[in-house]
Amino acid sequence: MGNLLEIKNLSIEYVTDERTNKAVNNLNLKIREGETLGFVGETGAGKTTTALGIMRLVPNPPGRIVSGEIYFEGENLLEKTEKEMREIRGNKISMIFQDPMTSLNPIMTVGEQIEEVIKLHEDLPKDELRKRAEAMLETVGIRKERFDNYPHEFSGGMKQRVVIAMGLACNPKLIIADEPTTALDVTIQAQVLELMKELKIKFNTSMLLITHDLGVVAETCDYVAIMYAGSVVEYGNVERIYNNPLHPYTIGLFNSIPSLDEDKDKLDVIPGSPPDPSNLPTGCKFHPRCINCMEICKKRVPEPIEVEEGHFVSCLLYDKGIKEGK
């Protein structure tokens, strides 16, 4: 499978008079065709900013892409004109947000809103357009008779289904789903995730799934990238990382999940809090919170090391040179 998306050394910051927040720092990431990549990290880790960077929707000002390359189907999106990007958004890459009301217009019917997405990229006769929109509604489990209903006539889960229908309406190659189920009740979350999994296969789409929930990743993803302070600290196949997490931050995330098998009074939490993006620590950005921190971690920025095939970790504990005292 070839790479559909490849991000190289991407850095994004938000600049105000008082401060510069380094939201994304030298980030590297790839998604192959047909693959679902889970993008995991605490709030403020830079996950959503990365997604907005891919869509070239970082609000400017105060945001700006400082450096890097974002290759999609082999072409650097950062070199595209705004007109070219409008052709790509919704058509080749679409985005699903956490709160469906961010994407839905309360004064248009849901059917019209799906039609609008299709109309942006295809010139179809009116009756054919309606048929396509009705088919999309049925694909996400909503009867076509509800075409003329308004968003307020739907529950939260049904609204998110409409948003998914809009996201898939032009059969994009890549869907970026930003915490798509976080705003929903737990039982509805499972249904929506199941639907997304089915549709991903049916439409042969790749997916970047942004979440803070490792359970969702285990259920849905093929690969996972763990993000900390704007960089990927561990990346690999879901099974490998779940069976053998290596980065102290990833291990901390797993230890903080409640388990039915263990009888614990308290959950293990990662000490400290995420760093201030306007004043990031030197060396490894995780060092003030790391229980394995060595003196060198305060000075040297860890590079990704391939510890087993396709499993990368950015931590000096796995640096052979340091182990051997070099």
- Chain contacts with ligand SF4 (rule: CB under 6 A): 247-248, 284, 286-287, 290, 292-294, 297, 302, 315-317
CB nearer to ligand SF4: pick between 75 and 276: 276
Q: Which DSSP letter does residue 303 get?
A: P
**Paired strand residues for 6:** 30, 71
Which is nearer to ligand SF4, 159 or 289 (by Cβ)? 289
CB of 77 to ligand SF4, least distance (A): 31
Q: Which is nearer to ligand SF4, 209 or 229 (CB)?
A: 229
DSSP letter at 245 equals: -
Compute the Cα dihedral for 284, 287, 293, 294 and give only its sign.
positive
- Smallest gap from Cβ 277 to ligand SF4, in A, equals 17
In terms of CB distance, is 129 or 229 closer to ligand SF4? Answer: 229
Q: Min. distance of Cβ 212 from ligand SF4 in angstroms?
A: 19
CA dist., res. 53 & res. 74, Å (int): 17
Is cis: bond before 258, omega within 30 of 0?
A: no
Beta carbon of residue 226, minimum distance to ligand SF4 (angstroms, whole number) = 11
Q: Which residues lie closer than 8 Å to 132 by C-beta, 6 or more apart?
A: 114, 115, 118, 124, 169
**Complex with ligand SF4: residue 206 or 314, whichever CB lies closer:** 314
- Dihedral of the alpha carbons of 144, 146, 151, 157, in degrees to the nearest 10: -70
Minimum distance, C-beta of residue 282 to ligand SF4, in the bound complex (Å): 11
